[in-house]
Structure 1
Amino acid sequence: MPVVPAESEIRWVDGDTEHTARWHSESGMPAPRRVVPADDRMNASTAHRLACEGTALLWQGDYHQANQLLQAMGRRVDGKAQAAAPTPTAAFHLQRRASGHRARVLGKLLVPLAADHTLALRRAPDVRAACDEAYGPPRPTPSVVSLRELLGVLGAHQWRTKGVDIPALDGRIHPHYGVFSPVRGEYVDLVAQAPLPQPLSLGAPAYDLGTGTGVLAAVLARRGVRRVVATDNNPRAVACARANVSRLGLSDQVEITTGGALFPPDRAALVVCNPPWLPAKPNSALEQGVYDPKGAMLHAFLTGLTAHLLPGGEGWLIMSDLAEHLGLRAPDELRSAIAAAGLHVAGRLDARPQHPRASDATDPLHAARAAEVTSLWRLTAAELP
């Protein structure tokens, strides 16, 4: 299920006065039950202790001091020794648990936003444009958000402004907040290199399922595919993909649609799907691009593909085998699922990851990441005997 932003009301007392404000969390974290004011006089040890106990700290001091306090709290969370994991699977679950604990503790440092999304702190930057992009138009009342989330919103605004260079497009893709960024270029390169099915040359359409930023739909259009229908059920992704396609001058070739169904209703010469690679529960909106509970999207693609392929058409499944190296998916499970769906593997293209974490020996999951391979599986409907 998608992570739904949480909105409610929080209360705190400052002196003899009780205050209220609207609580907002994009990760769906509930409003903290206990909130106390905090300012530049609070040290990191006290802040860390209170946050671990479940008390939220509403910052009323200097913005840069708040950032320094958050970093110091993070060092205290990270400084706790983690038990050695006996298996890659155990290491994955320990890391997820530690990541969740870190998010909960650091999420307790809160900051106030005025009704127009002005950050009401000394020496605060202008965050209004970034908040408008992430949260929508200003509301009539002030709100409170976690500083950690707000920093993510500011970072997303910078990515959206700067964009990500995509050599296969000879251009840039501009990800929006909450939409997974195509910073891992190997899977984009696979789509740029794989041989196109013959029916595409006759004008048959291609589908891009779960398009996200629209990067793969744009690559297909740049390769000469005359009509690409890209789908996504995330409104942020739909807006993002439409903006990118328009910016690249590809709106005449690429149609971005939304709806509950994974597939468009008709058949295509090519159906591309890059589902989340790890079968686990996402803890935030951005993690929905990485984690897919029980591989639901993967299996929906496989079981529905044959009914949506034209004769001679192909389905391109883009998957990493990181889940296999982490023990989250059995080594033969994907091939078995492909066969069970009545599909045939016509070919496969592989690529090694180039991102920094693949070579970071301090990462608890380093062995799995170093062995990871990203593949484009070319699938066709199996021939009847």
Structure 2
Amino acid sequence: MNAVVEWTEDGAPRSARWRSESGAAPPRRVVIADDATTADDAYRLACEGTALLWRGDFQNARQLLQAMIRRADRTPRRAGRRRRSAPEPSQVQAFHLHRQAQAQRARTLGMLLIQVDAGHVIALRRAPDVVQACTEAHGPAGEPYVTSLRELQGLIGAHEWRKKGVPIPALGGDRIHPHYGVFSPVRGEYVDLVAEAPLPPGDLAFDIGTGTGVLAAVLARRGVGRVVATDQDSRALACARDNVTRLGLADRVDVVEADLFPPGRRAPLVVCNPPWLPARPSSPLEYAVYDPDGRMLRGFLGRLSDHLEPGGEGWLILSDLAEHLGLRTRDDLLALIADAGLDVVDRLDVKPRHPRAADANDPLHEARAAEVTSLWRLTGT
């Protein structure tokens, strides 16, 4: 059953379908806001749990959201100054506090709402054309709906990334075009590891949890004759098919829906880049980053031997950020590998190059600065 958001406007009750990719429930209290609404009032109401349905100029709504963001980002620093005498939290405490703060920030900033008419049309002054961006993410819209402006801006940004694409040095600078809701390969170090690791003999590889299809494309470009790329997410499957077609690799890369491994098949090379952090996602869009209880990691390692040809290799691409955050130990990982009847042949390491690794103001800076991404070469015992 579709969720509905309700409000009163011009003295009459109104309602519309509620749409939230983050899985947020429809707000219980909604007031009308327009160009006369101040940033202080908007932020106060949002913090109290009251949503604001915008009826003014669209570009003014964007400016209001930016003002609310500035207020939200200012609050933790004030709180930090008040607690200067408190002991420094551990890394795992810092991680959970950061997650809580980010979730609260997202809830507050998600309280500025936009009504979208049927066909993904916004009937506000100076509103952008969002038809293509919204259709790519949601499909056709036969009825009006209400969504958060922040989420709508995310759709627009994802559409621009999809048009522009992400250049991949391992593909000779060719671009991967991420779809909305599919993890973008902007952190290229893990792609470089797959491009540089020595290939085992054989002409078949599996790419487990392919996402955009970038690793499958790299393997095909390296000369693997046939790559089977699997995923369970419909957006990822569509994205991977689009990318391998763009790259002229559709005749060598099969994108199939599967729970990790292609049923009943073995390969001399099986590659997997699971989500790196064993924590619960706060929204469906976070499943590319957070793996509850390490389910995908455990599933890959536990079933790998059954899908490797004799003498074959499994490549596990994994950051050790979870270890530096206290969410998993190196001994835990090694025990999972050993319990699965696997041996470590080699490990290739690389330091991350993304900006947050050098940002001393990041709440998780200590862990990010120490992070190493590794490609573990595994064989069956």
Q: TM-score range by the shorter chain?
A: over 0.9
Task: Give distance in 1, aligned partners of 2:295 and 2:361.
Answer: 32
Report the Cα offset of residue 263 of structure 1.
4.3
In the alignment, does 2:326 pair up with 1:327?
Answer: yes
* Counterpart Cα distance in 2 of 1:263 and 1:334: 24
Q: Quote the Cα distance in structure 1 between the aligned partners of 2:214 and 2:329.
A: 30
**Distance in structure 2 (CA, Å) of the matches to 1:88 and 1:217:** 35
Q: 1:354 to 1:374 in 2, by over 3 A?
A: same
Counterpart Cα distance in 1 of 2:324 and 2:161: 31
Asked if the contact 2:260/2:300 (under 8 Å) is kept, the reply is: no
The correspondence for 2:68, drawn from 73, 90, 106, is 73
Paired residue for 1:117?
Answer: 120
- Do residues 99 (structure 1) and 102 (structure 2) align? yes
Matches of 1:285 and 1:263, distance apart in 2:
24
Work out whether 1:256 is the aligned partner of 2:234: no
Note the alpha carbon deviations across 1:266-320, whole angstroms, 9 max, x for none: 1111110000000011122331111000100000001000011001100000000
SS at match of 2:3: strand
* 8 Å CA contact retained: 1:229, 1:256: yes
The correspondence for 2:164, drawn from 153, 162, 165, is: 162
Give, in angstroms, the shift of residue 194 of structure 1.
0.4
Query: 1:20 Cα deviation (Å)?
Result: 1.3
> After superposition, what is the alpha-carbon deviation per residue over 1:151-187, rounded to whole angstroms, capped at 9, x for unaligned?
1000000000000000111210000000000000000
Pairs within 5 Å for 1:161-310: 161-170=163-172, 171-198=174-201, 200=202, 203=203, 205-310=204-309
Counterpart amino acid of residue 35 in structure 1: V
Q: Is the 8 A contact 1:7 1:25 kept in 2?
A: no
Match of 1:144 among 133, 143, 146: 146
Structure 1 counterpart of 2:356, one-letter code: R
Distance 1:365 1:7 in 2: 38
Query: 1:18: Cα distance to partner?
Result: 1.7
Once the 2 structures are TM-superposed, how far is the Cα of residue 42 of structure 1 from its aligned partner? 0.8
How far does residue 262 in structure 1 lie from its aligned partner after superposition? 4.1
1:132 paired residue number: 135
- Deviation by residue 1:98-139 (Cα, 9 ceiling, x = unmatched): 000001001111001110101221111111110000111122
CA distance in 2 between counterparts of 1:336 and 1:12 reads 54
TM-fit CA distance, 1:36: 1.1
Secondary structure in structure 2 of the residue aligned to 1:357: helix
State the partner residue of 1:3.
none
Counterpart amino acid of 2:273?
N
2:261–2:307: 8 Å Cα contact kept in structure 1? no
* 1:47-70 alpha-carbon deviations (Å, 9 max, x no partner): 111111111110000111111111
Instruction: Tell me, in whole angstroms, the C-alpha distance in 2 between the residues paired with 1:41 and 1:129.
Output: 31
Aligned residues of 1:350 and 1:374 also touching (Cα < 8 A) = yes
Letter in 2 for 1:41: A
Q: Which residue of 2 is the match for residue 153 of structure 1? A: 155
Gaps of 5+ in 1: 1-5
In structure 2, distance between residues paired with 1:193 and 1:7: 48
Tell me the SS of whatever aligns to 2:212: coil
Following the alignment from structure 1 to structure 2, what is the Cα–Cα distance between the partners of residues 144 and 312? 55
After superposition, give the CA deviation of every residue in 1:67-108 in whole Å (9 maximum; x if it has no partner): 111111122222122456421111111110000000100111
- For 1:278 and 1:147, the matched residues in 2 are separated by 28
In the alignment, is residue 44 of structure 1 matched against residue 47 of structure 2?
no
Q: Comparing 149-158 with 48-57, which one deviates more in the overlay?
A: 48-57
In 2, the alpha carbon distance for the partners of 1:237 and 1:358 equals 27
Q: Given that residues 181 and 213 in structure 1 are in contact (C-alpha distance below 8 angstroms), is that contact kept between their aligned partners in structure 2?
A: yes
**Deviation of 1:261 (Å):** 5.0
Residues paired across the two proteins, number: 372
Q: Please say if residues 209 and 260 of structure 2, whose CA atoms lie closer than 8 Å, have aligned partners that are also in contact.
A: no
1:6-29 C-alpha deviation (Å, 9 max, x unpaired): 941111111212211111001111
Tell me, which stretches of 5 or more residues in structure 2 are unaligned?
Answer: none
Q: What is aligned with 2:4?
A: 9
- Tell whether the 8 Å contact from 2:21 to 2:285 is kept in structure 1 after alignment: no
